[in-house]
Amino acid sequence: MKKEKSIFVKAGYLLGILFCLVASVSLVYASYLMINWTVSEHPDISYYGYETSGQYSDYPSTRYNCDEKSWLKNESNEVINRFEIKRIDYEDSKKKFFASSGIENQLDAYYVWGDEYNLLIGIFNELVNTYNKDSIFFDTCDNTFSTTIETKRGYLDNEEKSMDKEFRILKPKAEVEGYVFD
Partner 1 sequence: MKKYNITFESLYAISMIILFSVVYLTILVLAFAFLYDGYLEWFANKQGSGYGFYTGVIGLILLVGIFWALFPKKKEGIILEKKDAPKLFELVDKAVAKTQIHPINSIRLVPGSSIAVTGLFNKQLLVGIASLRYITEKDFEAIFYHEIGHFAAKDTKIGSFLGVYFETLEKQYISSVNFWNYSPHYAIAIIGLPSLAMTWLLMHLFSFLYAPYSKFREYKADEFAAAHSNPKQFANALVHYSSYTYAHDVIMPQIIVQLLSENKKLTNVYATMTNYWHKENAEASMNAVLSDKEQFRDSHPSLQNRLKNLDVTKIGDNEGKTLKTMFPQFEKFEEQLSDNYTIRIGINAGLLDRSTKSLD
Give the nearer residue to partner 1 in terms of CB position, either 38 or 101. Answer: 38
C-alpha dihedral (100, 106, 112, 116), degrees to nearest 10: 70
- Residues touching partner 1: how many (CB under 8 A)? 28
Pairwise CA distance, residues 128 & 135, whole Å = 10
Region binding partner 1 by CB under 8 A among candidate stretches 27-35, 126-134, 135-143, 173-181: 27-35
Query: Under 8 Å CB-to-CB from 167, ≥6 apart: which residues?
Result: 110
Confirm or reject binding of residue 45 to partner 1 (CB under 8 A): yes
Pairwise CA distance, residues 3 & 17, whole Å = 22
Pairwise CA distance, residues 71 & 124, whole Å = 19
Could you say which of 6, 7, 8, 44 contacts partner 1 (CB under 8 A)? 44
Region binding partner 1 by CB under 8 A among candidate stretches 12-20, 113-121, 134-142, 151-159: 12-20
**Residues 124 and 153: beta-carbon distance below 8 Å:** yes
Confirm or reject binding of residue 23 to partner 1 (CB under 8 A): yes
- Residues near partner 1 (CB under 8 A) are 1, 3, 5, 9-10, 12-14, 16-17, 19-21, 23-24, 27-28, 30-31, 34-35, 37-38, 42-46
